[in-house]
Amino acid sequence: MNTNEIKEKLKSKEYDFLRIDKHLGKNIIFLTTGGSYAYGTNVETSDLDIRGIAVETSNEILGSAIFEQFEDRKTDTVVYALRKILKLMLNCNPNVLEILGTKDEHIFICNKYGKMIKDNKDLFLSKRAIQSFGGYASAQLRRLQNALARDNYPQREKEIHILNTIKTQIATMKDRYEVFSKENLNIYIDKSKKEDFESELFIDVNFKHYPLRDFKNIYAEMSNVIKDYDKLNHRNSKKDTNHLNKHAMHLIRLFLMGTELLEGKGINTYREKDREFLLKIRKGEFSYSEIFEMVNDYEKKFDYAAKNTSLKDEPDYDKVEEEIRTLKKACGNHILKVIIETCYLTEDEKIAMCKAVTNAGADYIKTSTGFGTGGATIEDIRLFKQHIGPDVKMKAAGGVKSKDDLIMFLEAGCDRIGTSSAVGLLKGEQAKGY
């Protein structure tokens, strides 16, 4: 399918949702290809994936309604809400960054706000890409290794795969949870006393005065890794060679893209120069031993680029501030509320966002969307109070579970409380959920 054919397909009845859905239509500011068409690795049988960005409605901005993303599985279409995708981009999430690196012919909608994001895509880049791209590549490698091993791998080798995945995961946890060290939480492999296990994973935990919700979420994330590997072993028996070759291709592609990004060459989703090479991998023209040798080579190049990158440690908050200011101008007399999702940020990042929101002239700063790993905390509200300007109001969302909590948050300076249980709280009832 060529570009003109894709454009005609998007005009068809099958894609009417792009024009009539209340979240889409004129709210779409950017629309492009995803998947194999975006990478340039599409073949005759490839499905068409569409990715986009949409601004929220006034009700969603004010908090009376929620919109994070639109998904149509029949057509493999995903359109992200602006607030959500900005957060993911600031964390250098490969799946969303690649939206900004597609070739120009594959951009089907791009208004002035979409163009502003695309033209300033480099502001989202930071050393966070080391963990995001490296982590995604490692996950692909583990899937491939595990798939090839099937049930023939010794138990210890399987445990090593799980341990490596968890270690990659832990490296990113400092962005989401209270900082901890190896002395607080250490995971390792040792001899097992179980009959079915030669060796297995063990954990040493030594926390004092640590947030219980953070620990709960850390444990849940690590548990999910083990569950995923168990599921993977079951699925692998059903996977054919084509699926494994596709894993191998994406593994190499992630290393190529990540290395270029760290070298300062930008976001290059469309792999024109690598197309034939990547398609050879997909077609199975290399043995798996050859692929693993290539992976080892590309991983070394990635590690070298990571050690020598000139990217900033954190995203360019000055540019983020400029973008918020532009959005405020676009809002006119309407209220602009900026949600920063505190559960994913360090204290320094929260302070930086307070300053950006203040300087950009936004009306509200809000703690949470309701879709993250945690809601508002009184500590975050007190931190906001110290670092926002006098004209910025605060909204706490989540974390308010009782009448006492409600009073405490209001006394700390909150102007609005995001809860669906307000009436119940005032009656002395306990709120459910976070």
| pLDDT 10s digits, 96-112 | 999 999 999 999 999 98
Q: What is the pLDDT of residue 393?
A: 92
In the chain, what are the domain boundaries? 3-111, 128-308, 317-426
Which class in CATH covers the domain with range 3-111? alpha beta
Beta bridge partners of 40: none
Fold of 317-426: TIM Barrel (3.20.20)
Of 231-235, 281-285, 302-306, the range with the lowest mean pLDDT is 231-235
Quick one: residue 113, left, alpha or beta (phi over 0 = left, psi -120 to 50 = alpha)? alpha
Q: What is the pLDDT of residue 44?
A: 84
Half-sphere exposure of 80 (CA within 13 A, CB side): 19
Active site members:
303, 366, 395
Quick one: residue 284, left, alpha or beta (phi over 0 = left, psi -120 to 50 = alpha)? left
Residue 274 phi, psi dihedral angles, 5° rounding: -95, 0
| Residue recorded with tokens 């990571």 | 306
Query: How far apart, in whole angstroms, are the C-alpha atoms of residue 112 and residue 122?
Result: 17
Is the pLDDT at 405 greater than 70, yes or no? Answer: yes
Beta bridge partners of 32: 51, 107
Query: How far apart, in whole angstroms, are the C-alpha atoms of residue 218 and residue 11?
Result: 45
Note the pTM of the prediction, 2 decimals: 0.57
| pLDDT 10s digits, 348-379 | 788 888 988 898 888 899 988 766 667 788 88
| pLDDT 10s digits, 39-51 | 999 888 889 999 9
The closest of 220, 133, 208, 134 to 178, measured between CA atoms, is 208
Is the pLDDT at 235 greater than 50, yes or no? Answer: no
Query: How far apart, in whole angstroms, are the C-alpha atoms of residue 361 and residue 327?
Result: 10
